[in-house]
Chain A
Amino acid sequence: MRRLLWPAVVLVLLLALNIFFTPSFFSVQVRDGHLYGSLIDILRFGAPLILVSIGMTLVIATGGIDLSVGSVVAISGALACLQISEDAGLPMAVAAALGLCLVLGAWNGFLVAAVGIQPIIATLILMVAGRGLAQLITDGQIITINDPAYKVIGGGYWLTVPFGILVVIAVLGITAFLTRRLALGMLIESVGGNAEASRLAGIRARGIVIMVYASAALCAGVAGLMISSNVSSADGNNAGLWIELDAILAVVIGGTSLAGGRFSLSGTVLGALIIQTLTTTIYSIGVPPETTLLFKALVVTAVCLIQSPSFRAKAFRRRGRSAPTQPSPEERVLAGRGGTA
């Protein structure tokens, strides 16, 4: 639990910062039978990122990475909106979109596990081709739809709670059950920690890797439904753009090493919430639009530094405690991070 301490501290600090600019920041009310407030907004708008990040966590735990989730978000939204605009009905639209995402994810997994392509390259293929596929589905246009039932996925409420938050809770619950109650998590960590040793211990890594990429795409697919539902339209070009980078960042902030092995779902959720809170904060404290990216990058750098035990040791001159001999996951990725936020 110690490793969740710093992400939690950062999140609390970020939230606390808002109170100076928005005194009503922490108030949550029920208005028109809906929960309403800044905190609820962070959860609601952060839902797609949390979903994508959950899938990304498992992929990264196997020692891989999935750059294609942003494109999958677009494809999922595009197919669902197309189906609805052709009056296929909501269940059919959702099933078709998620089904396609599963196939695409399995394809990624196949390239990585069976063909042996490096994950960053294998998923780069779909990252690029997927945008094309999404535009092919929407015929290069932005499909606009008007379906109240579809609107619920991203913008609706159930028992006063935004529907998106419930979806996140459900997906998180299922993932936690599969990985921590069943043995999937341990096998994923084993494959990510030492692939050859896992093979020699009799683990069928191929199946696990394919499944993990498929579930990452499925999570992205659900996020895609949410995003397109929220705006009642599908934009093959811009839906989910760069969300894969935010998701990777969320996973790393949450304490999962990019080298694979141990992962933390709750850490990832914290990481995603930090990123979403940061976005909200930037708007609420009125950072000039042209400097928002720079501001975000600076905060993220600070967050990563504060999480690095060896940086803390250096910065606060604490000696005599056993410093880890390996660089922590945060440090390992620090170099390649700047502009992604």
Chain B
Amino acid sequence: MAVPAPVLTMSGIGKQFPGVKALDDVDLRLLPGEVHALMGENGAGKSTLIKVLTGVHPADAGTIELAGRTVAFGSPLEAQQAGISTVYQEVNLCPNLSVAENILLGREPRRLGRIDWRRMRARAHQLLARLDVRLDVSAPLSVYSLAVQQMVAIARAVDIDARVLILDEPTSSLDADEVQQLFRVMRRLKEEGIAILFVSHFLDQIYEISDRMTILRNGRLVGEYPTSELSQVELVAKMIGQELAALERLHGEAKTFDRPLVEARGLGRSGAIEPFSLTIHEGEVVGLAGLLGSGRTEVARLLFGADHAGSGELAIGGAPTSLRTPRAAMTHRIAFCSENRKEDGLVPDLTVRENIVLALQATRGWTRPVPRETQDDLVGKYVKALRISPPNPEIPVRNLSGGNQQKVVLARWLILEPRLLILDEPTRGIDVGAKAEIQRLVAELSDGGMAVLFISAELEEVLRLSHKVEVLRDRRLVAELPNDESLTTDVLLETIASGGRVS
């Protein structure tokens, strides 16, 4: 089969940020009608490469050729007009506008200078139908789930006469069915001859949908491979630059837990989570399993005092207490790494160092600053231990990649040496290498006596780390399963699906 001429060729791309060499001599070729996976760890330069391609950042070096013509886009708009559309990881739409407005924002059909609403709705309908999505296009976008919003974003992107569609982690918040729906759409667009650049951390998805892949590491090109010729193990090895030791179940022998740390009795909050009872012991890793929206985060927020419990009792270390604020939880040495690091975790303007010492400083109040030496020691220690990259604590945290930002939030809580660490999706949207590191860290911390409440959408991960698993469904805690030999992902899935009635 003859290889068609690439629709897009990037060669020798280089990009320098203050303090970071983000890209160095990177090549990328996209063929028409292929799904091309862009692979790499956090901070490998995937997002930067996409931003250079779409005109968000100008390249410092290298050339971009689109359909044989050399181009340089000054803005995402120019890129879009040339046929390069992007759907970003975080949906960039206006939740207060209607679905139709979102899809056609900026290119509304007009008549006599006024917006032709009827044609606009019809056009939006038609575009969504192409993706097999049926919605009330005049409803505000905010009434739909994140997954549907993602579809709307894709509909918006492919409306433009797209030759290249970039999907930057479109699947990280979708469930299995929605992923399949997305893949159907991608296959159809592929048949139309559109080149799709696909970024995802889910290796299975990559192998299911992509034809070829380009791998980056530390801002450099590792290589370009047909997906069918590279095994998953080889891929991971190329991404992290070493062979990844197989991950066993991280807890060797069974431990007994007899010192309850946090005991919740009938704790609940109407509209968020039905009353639940839960005991977390010292040194115990408790996994929370359940679908998105099943109430996992709500349990965590109640235990951290981020939301007020409407009912029930809570005892910490045997003493009854009520957590009215996060600060109250922190005095009991409970820490909470939110799943939403952008909104609930980081202060993007502040430096990495300031973000890391923020919680420690908060516990001391503003009158007792953490001495600069102590700050530098602590920060240096955790930047090294968590391998935060780039290892420069004085750059604004927003310049870091997603996974490294996650590590910054984690470091913030670890320096407080909490007794209970609540981790809400700590490994979402980060690469395999960092994921394994964080998992290993959780196991180590719990061996050291710290209790961990571990929330993850990935059942395997929950299973690997937890001593017991709490299963949530429809905002209700439906089952508590000890993690012994008999517990498998299938059992967990079944429990989630049946709501605990079978077992």
Contact indicator A200/B306 (Cβ below 8 Å): yes
Whole-angstrom CA separation of A198 from B348 in the bound complex = 11
Whole-angstrom CA separation of A261 from B350 in the bound complex = 8
| Interface assignment of B367: CB less than 8 Å from any CB of chain A | yes
| Interface assignment of A319: CB less than 8 Å from any CB of chain B | yes
Contact indicator B349/A189 (Cβ below 8 Å): yes
Query: Least Cβ distance of B29 to chain A in Å?
Result: 24
CB nearest to A204 among chain B residues: B327
A193-B348, A194-B347, A197-B345 known; A322+B57 contact, CB < 8 A: yes
Whole-angstrom CA separation of A322 from B56 in the bound complex = 9
Q: Give the residues in chain B near A184, CB-CB below 8 Å.
A: 366
Partner of B412, one of A182, A183, A201, A204: A201
How would residues 38 to 58 of chain B score, 1 for a CB under 8 Å from any chain A CB and 0 otherwise?
000000000000000000111
Whole-angstrom CA separation of A193 from B364 in the bound complex = 20
Contact indicator B350/A186 (Cβ below 8 Å): yes
Contact indicator A202/B344 (Cβ below 8 Å): no
Q: Give the residues in chain B near A182, CB-CB below 8 Å.
A: 366-369
Whole-angstrom CA separation of A126 from B416 in the bound complex = 42
Whole-angstrom CA separation of A69 from B399 in the bound complex = 37
| Interface assignment of B354: CB less than 8 Å from any CB of chain A | yes
Within 8 A of A (CB), among B291-314: 304, 306
A183-B366, A184-B366 known; A200+B326 contact, CB < 8 A: yes
A181-B369, A183-B366 known; A201+B349 contact, CB < 8 A: no
Query: Least Cβ distance of A49 to chain B in Å?
Result: 26
Q: Give the residues in chain A near B345, CB-CB below 8 Å.
A: 197, 200
| Interface assignment of B153: CB less than 8 Å from any CB of chain A | no
Point out which of B336, B338, B344 has the most chain A C-beta atoms below 10 A from its C-beta.
B344
Contact indicator A193/B344 (Cβ below 8 Å): no
Contact indicator B343/A196 (Cβ below 8 Å): yes
| Interface assignment of A320: CB less than 8 Å from any CB of chain B | yes
Q: Give the residues in chain A near B138, CB-CB below 8 Å.
A: none
Whole-angstrom CA separation of A137 from B392 in the bound complex = 56
Partner of A262, one of B349, B364, B367: B349
Whole-angstrom CA separation of A187 from B336 in the bound complex = 19
Point out which of A186, A196, A208 has the most chain B C-beta atoms below 10 A from its C-beta.
A186
| Interface assignment of B483: CB less than 8 Å from any CB of chain A | no
Whole-angstrom CA separation of A189 from B361 in the bound complex = 13
Whole-angstrom CA separation of A204 from B56 in the bound complex = 37
A201-B359, A322-B17 known; A187+B349 contact, CB < 8 A: no
Contact indicator A194/B348 (Cβ below 8 Å): yes
Q: A183-B361, A194-B347, A196-B344 are in contact. List 6 more A-B contacts (CB 8 A).
A: A194-B343, A201-B412, A202-B330, A208-B366, A262-B349, A323-B58
The interface of chain B, by Cβ under 8 A from chain A, is 16-17, 56-58, 60, 304, 306, 325-327, 330, 336, 338, 343-350, 354, 358-359, 361-370, 412
Could you show 13 A-B contacts with beta carbons less than 8 Å apart?
A183-B364, A183-B367, A187-B361, A189-B350, A194-B347, A197-B343, A197-B347, A199-B326, A201-B358, A203-B327, A203-B362, A322-B17, A325-B56
